């Protein structure tokens, strides 16, 4: 094992800001800031019919990226060529399917759920961490 | 703009800035975090640690209030069953996370690059969500119940 590109300060600072964001949403409108739930809810039919706040949150999520890039630099490396794009798209499709099936992703289960000591969220987070690590191991070290 | 919409927008902006600053929008960094036996980047554990620290304390304080600022009630998930859907769905998500290096939030924030790649990955994520909701989604129980805000969480 080699440790690479370790950025503890900016990563912890980003994490603190994400924490503020989820607490703010709970304080303001009493909702869990789970991105898969918010996005899935905004795209599909809703049990509560309340699309408005979800759309505003999603616009903010993009606007936050724009603000960051204006001040600090580009957001993430751009994907180039089919050899990067195809696995990213297949993976993103599985992410969409799986997070809807599990009712949550890194934010809803990993942050909001664990901070409420939800057993479901702890099990979900362990499950996606394990299968994610197994997938990277297979792709990078076996294939 | 209503107060609750302004608040949702502000929360989204903070979340997007946090994702970009933390490195979650860099799929190579995510894959390195998951690569324990190769080139390991422990940074994302610090993202989670920072977010959990604020959320654990913040939720405890906020949920003592009788109600949110702009809504009648707090809405928290009440399901407790560790069922196959939860575990299988999370494992499918993990496979996709390992393949792509993207979880849902960073896919949305990456739209800020206005690049065709980011739009293509977003379309794939949305298609996967709709594919679930149109097939297994009809059996989905409503996991969120409105709870009385005086009850403990």
Q: Report the residue of chain B nearest A99, measured CA to CA.
A: B93
In the predicted model, is pLDDT for residue A50 greater than 50? yes
Contacts B70 to A, Cβ<8 Å: 28-29
The kind and range of the H/E element at A100 are helix A81-101
Does B22 sit within 8 Å of A10, measured CB to CB?
yes
What's the number of domains chain A is made of?
A: 1
- Which among A110, A64, A59, A49 is positioned nearest to B47, based on CA atoms? A110
Model ipTM? 0.96
Contact residues on chain B for A125, CB-CB shorter than 8 A? 90
- pLDDT tier at B150, thresholds 50, 70, 90: very low
Average pLDDT rounded to a whole number, residues B49-71: 97
Contact A121, A109 (CB under 8 A): yes
Q: Do the Cβ atoms of B118 and A77 come closer than 8 Å?
A: no
Question: What dihedral angle (degrees, nearest 10) is formed by the CA atoms of B40, B44, B45, B48?
Answer: -170
> Does residue A56 lie within any of the structural domains?
yes
A87 located within any domain:
yes
Distance CA A74, CA B153 (A): 40
pLDDT at position B142 over 60: no
The percent of residues in chain B predicted with pLDDT above 90, rounded, is 83
CA distance A113 to A122: 7
- What is the spatial distance between Cα A14 and Cα B149, in angstroms, rounded to a whole number? 30
pLDDT digits (tens, 9 = 90+) for A103-130: 999 999 999 999 999 999 999 999 999 9
Interface check B147 vs A, CB under 8 A: no
Structural domain of residue A136, as residue ranges? 8-142
A26 lies in a domain? Answer: yes
Instruction: Please list the alpha-helical segments (H only) found in B23-141.
Output: 27-33, 43-62, 84-100, 104-109, 116-135
User: For chain B, what are the domain ranges?
Assistant: 3-146
Alpha helices in A30-80 (DSSP H): 35-43, 52-71
Tell whether A108 is covered by a domain.
yes
Selecting from A19, A33, A132 the residue whose C-beta is nearest the C-beta of B97 gives A132
Q: Is residue A3 part of a domain?
A: no
B145 phi and psi angles, rounded to 5 deg: -115, 145
Instruction: Supply the pLDDT for residue B149.
Output: 36
Is there a contact between A136 and B108 if contact means CB atoms under 8 Å apart?
no
Contact A96 B132 (CB under 8 A): yes
Q: What is the pLDDT of residue B139?
A: 52
């Amino acid at each position: 094992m080699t440790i690479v590109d370790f950025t503890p300060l900016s990563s912890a600072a980003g994490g603190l800001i994400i924490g503020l964001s989820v607490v703010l949403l709970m304080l303001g409108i009493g909702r869990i800031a789970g991105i898969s739930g918010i996005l899935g809810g905004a795209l599909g039919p809703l049990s509560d019919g309340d699309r408005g706040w979800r759309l505003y949150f999603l616009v903010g999520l993009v606007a936050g990226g724009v603000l960051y890039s204006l001040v600090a630099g580009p957001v993430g490396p751009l994907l180039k060529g089919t050899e990067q794009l195809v696995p990213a798209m297949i993976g993103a499709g599985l992410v969409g399917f799986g997070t809807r099936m599990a009712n949550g992703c890194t934010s809803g289960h990993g942050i909001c759920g664990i901070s409420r000591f939800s057993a479901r969220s702890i099990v979900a987070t362990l499950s996606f961490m394990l299968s994610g690590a197994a997938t990277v191991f297979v792709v990078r070290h076996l294939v | 703009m209503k107060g609750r919409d302004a608040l949702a927008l502000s929360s989204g902006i903070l979340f997007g800035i946090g994702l970009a600053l933390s490195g979650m929008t860099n799929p190579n960094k995510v894959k390195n975090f998951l690569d324990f036996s190769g080139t390991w980047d422990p940074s994302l554990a610090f993202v989670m640690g920072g977010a959990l620290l604020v959320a654990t304390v913040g939720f405890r304080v906020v949920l003592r209030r009788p109600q949110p600022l702009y809504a009648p009630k707090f809405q928290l998930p009440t399901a407790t069953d560790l069922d196959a859907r939860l575990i299988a769905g999370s494992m499918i998500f993990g496979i996709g996370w390992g393949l792509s290096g993207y979880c849902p939030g960073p896919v949305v924030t990456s739209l800020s690059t206005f690049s065709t790649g980011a739009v293509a990955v977003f379309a794939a994520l949305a298609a996967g969500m709709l594919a679930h909701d149109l097939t297994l989604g009809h059996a989905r129980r409503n996991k969120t119940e409105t709870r009385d805000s005086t009850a403990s969480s």
